[in-house]
Amino acid sequence: MSETTPSIAASVPPDVDEQTNKMAISALIPLLITFILGTLCLQGFNLVFEQVGAAVHAPAQASLITALPSIVLGIVCFIYGSLGDFVSLKKLVTVGLVTLLVGSLFGFFANYFFDANLWTVIIARVLQTAGEQVAGSAYLVVATKYLKNSLKVIFFGLFTAGYQLSAAIGVFAAGILSSISWQFLFLIPSITIFFLPLLLKNLPDKNGGGQRVDGFGFAIFGVATAFLTLFFSYMSWWMLLVSAVLFLGFAYYINTAKHPFITPAFFRNTRWLSAISLILVFYFVNYCISPVFNAIAHSLYGMQTSTVSNYLVWAFVVAAIVGTSSGAIVGRIGRQSAIITAGCLMMLGFVGAAVFIKSGFLVLTVMAAVFYAGAGLMYSPVVSSVLDTLPKDESGRGVGMNDLVMNVTASIGIAVIGSLLGSPALGGGSIIGVSGTAASYSNLLLICGAVVLLGLIIFLAFRKHIYASER
């Protein structure tokens, strides 16, 4: 997910005048709606990507429908964070909304009126993802720099709530549209083009002085990350080799370039490395609940996706409630206790679903709600912990790197877990006593729970180092 913590608002001490504040509010509302509709589309495809893969005659590569746009999401989050320092927000948002519209219309027409194809789906989703994230990045820039200090917490809270709400609506919409035609999912964000005149009226023309963008550095890093994620989908070793070579080239580049977008010293910060490893592990399973539970519902309970979404939507509602309350919870129990509590809830959700896999889908929905309660609580304390390991002049790159790692690790996770859905290799038996297809899904859920447990172990092992500055 591409959220930013409210803590970055503290980097702007002076308050703004009434007119600027009013214009900011007028821009933030349509930006938030655009972000919500784009994220809604993302969550909808997360739920039905297996069905879409089957429809386009590429079930083995279905996870790419989620994985590749997620890579793009992580990369553009980083890039837009830099572009917002010196490029006109009006130009940035115009390009974003037009790209979103093109992706929406192309995805619908190419796959509804012509033979649906895996790559037309992926290309459309990539365009949509790249376009809608402009709204998210612009929202954060406007809220940080052009909004009154007293309103920042409110609008950052709305941003977090908007993400969780869009996830809930996305699952519900995908369930309805999957029984009609999944191609209509593409059209949901297309209406945001009508916000463009209002945004052009209220967005500032310029945003700071900033530096030149290191396009070459971004390109090397982005392509290397893309090949790494593709390897986990196709398991082609040449892709891993290409990724390794590009990452080595990137390491050489940032050591020799005059103005790289990120310096070697950034990666020598051991407190940051310890903290970012938490995101690598905890968010590996972030996109897995919807497709895994959808597959379980089809295989074990004979349920249609439209029915599944009616259940899972409540898990996302729980995530929205807990997510918007996370600031108050962290303020009461502290970040370390919040991370441990969130990790335990996420693990309990997976393990509980594995144990009660044949107890009915309502029970599984409760377990999904437990997982999403943990996921909703996890974001604020873990991201703020990572950012606090960096000096203030690196906080922008820190936010961008968080988003990149969060989305890429989740896309790798969905590629790996998606390839194991229904795998005969996991169906030989289960420690909870089920067999066959139920054992396969139960073991997969236990694997996801073990990943979260690994995250908790890493946190307990390194938390003294991560929070060294607080002692």
For domain 16-207, give the CATH superfamily.
Answer: MFS general substrate transporter like domains (1.20.1250.20)
Distance CA 31, CA 281 (A): 31
pLDDT value of residue 11: 39
Answer for the pair 383, 344: CB distance below 8 angstroms, yes or no. no
Backbone angles phi, psi at 389, to 5 degrees: -85, -5
> 116 in helix, strand or coil?
coil
- Count Cβ atoms below 10 Å from residue 447 Cβ, excluding itself: 17
* Furthest CA-CA distance within the chain: 67
**Distant-in-sequence, close-in-space partners of 202: CB < 8 Å, separation ≥ 6:** 23, 24, 26, 27
Distance CA 92, CA 78 (A): 14
CATH class of 268-471: mainly alpha
Angstrom CA distances, 50 to 56, 117, 125, 186, 292, stand at: 10, 14, 15, 16, 10
**pLDDT tens digit string along 266-281?**
888 888 889 899 988 9
Gap between the Cα atoms of 96 and 102, Å rounded: 10
Distance CA 297, CA 347 (A): 21
DSSP string over 435-469: -HHHHHHHHHHHHHHHHHHHHHHHHHHHHHHHTGG
What's the CA dihedral at 297, 160, 83, 254 to 10 degrees?
Answer: -70
For 14, the token pair is 């002076």
Per-residue pLDDT of the chain (471 residues; tens, 9 = 90+): 444 434 433 333 456 677 888 888 899 999 989 988 888 887 788 777 778 888 888 887 787 787 778 777 767 776 775 565 556 788 888 989 999 999 999 999 998 888 888 899 999 999 998 888 888 778 877 776 777 766 765 676 677 667 767 766 776 676 676 667 788 889 988 999 999 999 999 887 665 444 566 778 878 887 887 787 677 766 788 988 999 999 999 999 988 888 777 778 888 888 888 989 998 899 898 878 888 888 888 888 888 877 887 888 888 788 878 877 877 788 788 889 989 999 999 999 999 999 998 888 999 999 999 998 998 888 778 877 887 787 766 665 676 677 778 777 887 888 788 778 766 767 667 777 777 788 888 889 999 999 999 999 999 999 888 888 665
Written as six digits, the tokens of 64 are 């790419």
Question: Strands, DSSP E only, in 58-199?
Answer: none
Cα angle at 162 between 27 and 452, to 5 degrees?
A: 140
Residue linked to tokens 């979103």: 100
- pLDDT tens readout for residues 409-425: 887 888 788 778 766 76
114-119's contacts with Cβ under 8 Å and 24+ in sequence apart are 116/52, 116/55, 116/56, 116/183, 117/56, 118/53, 118/56, 118/57, 118/58, 118/61, 118/64, 118/65
Please state, in angstroms and rounded to a whole number, the distance separating the CA atoms of residues 396 and 83.
11
